[in-house]
């Protein structure tokens, strides 16, 4: 065969990736379970490049140059296993199977191990940027065996978004690392969307700023250090007027947020690896709460507001409040990034991945949904992009801060935003406007920097009811107080101290 790559699964993401490859000069073999989609793609877009339409997976595989590269873009879960099972007998050692869907990283680890036994490379690839990105340049996060990147990387890099001449694509790490990093990208995406939502809610309910006017606020914010794709599209959504009713579209849309699972996976994995990703988890919970329609209905009728001294933001105080909310949004967003990057390090330790946070941040600068000016600053805080830098699993590369907030520019930025951030959370609480991520992010910040945490008391409680022991600030070893006896203290050997 002669094709550079085969694509199976030609729904919009697969079709757009196939077209992107073809537009970059690659010969692309096409396959879909039902032939109609393949034909439609060739009929509509055949002129964009070199396509080879095939009817069966056998034909698809036969049309490929060696080593064969087959990209699967079907619904995550069982459908991916179905395609892999059909493909494997058709392939030869050295061939590369690419899963570009939003698969769970544990599935990717399992599939990689199974295919490796047969000498095949399995590469789980995170792709972000939606339909638009898939066609014109997504951010691409490939995992899998490093050797496979020699044969696959250049192809992927050629279709990726480019930032300052650098492709938003680089090998992330072995087996499921690519899908894991894409998952965390989505967790951050959830948090970023939620903090924007909280800002909107505050501006509306505390300062009375209507959607059309808020569109201008968000457009103005897009000229500040908040500049990002999500802020930009927020302005677009807010200025949209519903044709049927003449009302702001946002007022006509049912306020129940959907989710396909990647944000939830991020929160679950954060719990698994022991990383405190509370702001990300809160953004998932906020979507879940929004969807509890019947309970919300009853709560609206029965639960008190308890709001007595709601803050009043009049025309005079408006600009100051808007600026406060902007700063609170920025600080909360930074915390979401700090938590997401922190969990990458914890996961690297758990799964033996060598992850370079500077390079990962560089991939998110363009093409993906969380693309933002901030990502270039984050990349630089982690020593810039260096695709050959592979720290020890679970360690940060030399010179990289242990937490994003320790990078001097961010330590400073948060310090400047703090007074506004505290004012906004206090105002939200007083007004009864829920700000789960603004407030959780602030609690994370205050928790990190606290001299003493009530964790000491929790250790005392655990020791009381379960003899779980505690450590002392002034001596090594573990200790237990004989709570139900004479309350003397014993050391790890049970010897009174
Ligand atoms: C992306 C998006 C993409 C998808 C999300 C939506 O990076 O391009 O994250 O992968 O749109 O999975 O997720 P929810 O449906 O869960 O909001």
Kindly report, residue by residue over 14-39, the tens digit of the pLDDT: 999 999 999 999 999 999 999 999 99
pLDDT in tens, 375-415: 999 999 999 999 999 999 989 999 999 999 999 999 999 99
pTM over 0.90: yes
CB 67 within 8 A of CB 151: yes
Contact indicator for 140, 168 with CB cutoff of 8 Å:
yes
Give the per-residue pLDDT at 497: 85
pLDDT at 428: 97
Question: What mean pLDDT is reported for the chain?
Answer: 97
Distance 32 CA to ligand 1 centre (A): 23
Question: Rounded to an integer, what distance in angstroms lies between the CA atom of residue 148 and that of residue 118?
Answer: 15
Asked about 198 being catalytic, the answer comes back as no
- Distance from residue 186's CA to the centre of ligand 1 (Å): 6
207-216 residue pLDDT tens: 999 999 999 9
Could you identify the atom of ligand 1 that is nearest to the CA of residue 190?
A: 17
Percent pLDDT > 90 in the chain is 97
Residue 362 pLDDT greater than 90, yes or no? yes
pLDDT at position 310, please? 83
Q: What is the pLDDT of residues 409-464, one digit of tens each?
A: 999 999 999 999 999 999 999 999 999 999 999 999 999 999 999 999 999 999 99
Residue in 182, 198, 282, 333 annotated catalytic: 182
pLDDT for residue 195: 98
pLDDT surpassing 90 at residue 311? no
Tokens (6 digits) for 266: 């991020």
Under DSSP, is residue 315 helix (H, G, I), strand (E, B) or coil? Answer: helix
Neighbours of 488 (CB within 10 A): 10
Instruction: Tell how far the Cα of 330 is from the centroid of ligand 1, in angstroms.
Output: 22
Nearest CA to ligand 1 atom 11: 130
Nearest C-alpha neighbor of 57 from the set 93, 81, 36, 84: 84
pLDDT tops 90 at residue 492? no
- Please, is 296 exposed, middle or buried when counting C-beta atoms within 10 Å of its C-beta (0-12, 13-18, 19+)? middle
Residue nearest to atom 17 of ligand 1 (CA): 259
pLDDT exceeds 90 at position 164: yes
Residue percentage of the chain with pLDDT more than 70 = 100
CA distances from 228 to 129, 169, 312 (A): 13, 19, 30
* Residues 27 and 2: beta-carbon distance below 8 Å: yes
Q: Which residue has the higher pLDDT, 232 or 394?
A: 232
| C-alpha to C-alpha distance for 422 and 445, rounded to whole angstroms | 11
- SS3 label, residue 191: helix
The SS3 assignment for 260 reads coil
CA dist., res. 253 & res. 74, Å (int): 29
- Within 352-404, where are the H helices? 357-363, 373-381
User: Is residue 55 among the annotated active site residues?
Assistant: no
Residue ranges lining ligand 1, Cβ < 6 Å: 102, 128-130, 186, 189, 258-260, 262-263, 368-369
Q: Is the pLDDT of residue 309 over 90?
A: no
Distance 10 CA to ligand 1 centre (A): 18
Residue 230 pLDDT class (50, 70, 90 cuts): very high
Is the pLDDT at 185 greater than 90, yes or no? yes
Q: Whose CA is nearest to atom 4 of ligand 1?
A: 130
Q: Exposed, middle or buried by CB within 10 Å (0-12, 13-18, 19+), for 55?
A: exposed
Pairing of strands 5-8, 162-163: unpaired
User: 478 has which bridge partners?
Assistant: 471
């Amino acid at each position: 065969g002669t094709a550079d790559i085969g694509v199976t699964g030609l729904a919009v993401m697969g079709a757009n990736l196939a077209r992107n490859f073809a537009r970059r000069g690659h010969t692309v073999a096409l396959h879909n379970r039902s032939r109609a989609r393949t034909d439609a793609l060739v009929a509509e877009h055949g002129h964009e490049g070199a396509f080879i339409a095939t009817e069966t997976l056998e034909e698809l595989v036969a049309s490929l140059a060696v080593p064969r590269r087959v990209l699967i873009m079907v619904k995550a879960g069982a459908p991916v296993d179905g395609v892999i099972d059909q493909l494997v007998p058709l392939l030869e050692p050295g061939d590369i199977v690419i899963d570009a869907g939003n698969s769970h990283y544990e599935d990717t680890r399992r599939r990689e191990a199974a295919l490796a036994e047969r000498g095949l490379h399995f590469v789980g690839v995170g792709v972000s940027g939606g339909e638009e990105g898939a066609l014109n340049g997504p951010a691409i996060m490939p995992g899998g065996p490093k050797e496979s990147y020699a044969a696959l990387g250049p192809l992927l890099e050629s279709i990726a978004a480019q930032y300052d001449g650098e492709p938003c694509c680089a090998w992330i790490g072995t087996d499921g690392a690519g899908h894991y990093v894409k998952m965390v990208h989505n967790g951050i995406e959830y948090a970023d969307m939620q903090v924007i939502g909280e800002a909107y809610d505050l501006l509306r309910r505390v300062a009375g700023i209507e959607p059309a006017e808020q569109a201008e606020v968000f457009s103005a914010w897009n000229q500040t250090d908040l500049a990002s794709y999500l802020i930009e599209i927020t302005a677009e959504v807010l200025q949209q007027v519903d044709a049927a009713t003449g009302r702001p579209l946002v007022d006509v849309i049912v306020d129940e947020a959907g989710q396909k699972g990647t944000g939830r996976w991020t929160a679950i994995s954060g719990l698994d690896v022991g990383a405190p990703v509370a702001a990300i988890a809160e953004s998932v919970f906020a979507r879940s709460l929004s969807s509890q329609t019947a309970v919300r209905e009853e709560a609206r009728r029965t639960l008190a507001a308890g709001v007595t001294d709601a803050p009043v933001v009049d025309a005079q105080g408006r600009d100051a409040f808007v600026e406060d909310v902007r700063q609170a949004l920025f600080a909360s967003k930074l915390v979401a990034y700090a938590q997401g990057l922190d969990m990458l390090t914890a996961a690297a330790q758990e799964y033996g991945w060598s992850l370079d946070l500077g390079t990962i941040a560089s991939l998110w600068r363009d093409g993906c949904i969380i693309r933002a000016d901030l990502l270039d600053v984050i990349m630089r805080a982690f020593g810039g992009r260096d695709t050959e830098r592979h720290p020890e699993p679970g360690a940060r590369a030399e010179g990289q801060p242990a937490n994003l907030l320790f990078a001097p520019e961010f330590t400073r930025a948060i310090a400047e935003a703090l007074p506004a951030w505290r004012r906004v959370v206090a105002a939200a609480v007083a007004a009864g406007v829920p700000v789960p991520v603004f407030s959780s992010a602030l609690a994370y910040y205050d928790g990190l920097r606290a001299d003493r945490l009530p964790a000491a008391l929790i250790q005392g409680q655990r020791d009381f009811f379960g003899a779980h022991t505690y450590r002392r600030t002034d001596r090594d070893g573990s200790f237990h107080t004989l709570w139900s006896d004479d309350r003397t203290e014993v050391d790890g050997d049970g010897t009174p101290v």
